[in-house]
Amino acid sequence: PTLKRLIASLDRGDLRSLRDNALILLGFFGALRRSEIVALELDGRSKFTVTARGAILNLSATKASLKTEDVAIPRRSDDLCPVAALERYLIASGITTGPLFRAVSKSGRLLDRGLDTTSIRHILCQRLLAIGVEPSKFSPHSLRAGFITAAENAHVPEHLIQRTSRHKSVEVLRSYIRVADAFETNAANFI
């Protein structure tokens, strides 16, 4: 529910909002770490490709993964489509090289400087405050954990969640799952 409210609140005509929309949706549906979000480039090591079926993010090696990994993000037919959000941002920004997610000046001009991991937290806090949600309960990691939790609550098979999140261990994957409704998921309901 928070993701839908957050995305619905963004102005589709504003470059900063288009950037934030793409950043949030890619971060969520790709179960990305904030370091992976800011490392995405149009050229270089962490590139991506957009196809008719979705986007393929080529994530460069990080401290969490010592090898380059591809993450497929399928298109969706709703307002939460991360690929459509990415395409809208690319068209509006006109960028063709360098960092994908960049700073935007107060006047709305796109800067050459890419975002850093602290910027992701700041963006999320601003956007959450704008919809009346207390940002202290969220962090950039909430995008990744939120995807894993939502997938678990939708009864997606664990191995598919693990493939998207790129967790090597099922135990670590399970530690990400947050109880959405303690009453709905209570074992007492099944007795």
169 lies in some domain:
no
55 lies in some domain:
yes
User: Cα–Cα distance between 165 and 144 in angstroms, integer?
Assistant: 8
102 lies in some domain:
yes
**Least confident interval from 61-70, 73-82, 143-152:** 61-70
User: Cα–Cα distance between 31 and 53 in angstroms, integer?
Assistant: 18
Q: How far is CA 174 from CA 13, 102, 151, in A?
A: 39, 33, 12
Residue reference for tokens 């956007």: 127
Task: Give the pLDDT mean for 166-190.
Answer: 74
Nearest to 30 by CA among 169, 140, 171: 140
**pLDDT above 90 for 98:** yes
pTM: 0.88
Residue 98's domain is classified under what CATH number?
1.10.443.10
Return the pLDDT at 14. Answer: 92
What is the residue-wise DSSP string for 46-66? S-EEE-SSEEEEEEPP-SS-S
User: Cα–Cα distance between 129 and 5 in angstroms, integer?
Assistant: 12
158 lies in some domain:
no
170 lies in some domain:
no
182 lies in some domain:
no
Return the pLDDT at 171. Answer: 85
95 lies in some domain:
yes
Q: How many CB atoms lie within 10 A of CB 90?
A: 16
Model pLDDT for residues 109-161, shown as the tens digit of each residue: 999 999 999 999 999 999 999 999 999 888 898 999 999 989 988 989 999 99
Burial (CB < 10 A; 0-12, 13-18, 19+), residue 101, is buried
Q: What is the domain range of residue 64? A: 2-134
73 lies in some domain:
yes
* The total number of residues written for the chain in this structure: 191
Query: What are the residues whose beta carbons fall under 8 Å from the beta carbon of 74, sequence distance 6 or more?
Result: 53, 54, 83
Check residue 44 and give left, alpha or beta (phi > 0: left; psi -120 to 50: alpha): left
**Overall domain count for the chain:** 1
User: Cα–Cα distance between 87 and 85 in angstroms, integer?
Assistant: 5
